[in-house]
Amino acid sequence: MTAATFIGVGDEAVLTAGDGQVVLVKDKGDKVRSFTGASDFIYAAAAAPDGTIVMAGGEDGVLRVWNGRTENFSRSFDPEFRTLKQIARQ
Closest C-alpha among 43, 42, 45, 63 to residue 54: 45
pTM recorded for the entire structure: 0.83
Per-residue pLDDT at 16: 96
pLDDT in tens, 5-15: 999 878 999 99
Question: 46-89: per-residue pLDDT in tens?
Answer: 999 999 999 999 988 899 999 999 999 999 988 876 656 666 77
- Three-state SS at 17: coil
Residues listed for the chain: 90
What digits encode the pLDDT tens for the residues 23-34? 999 988 899 999
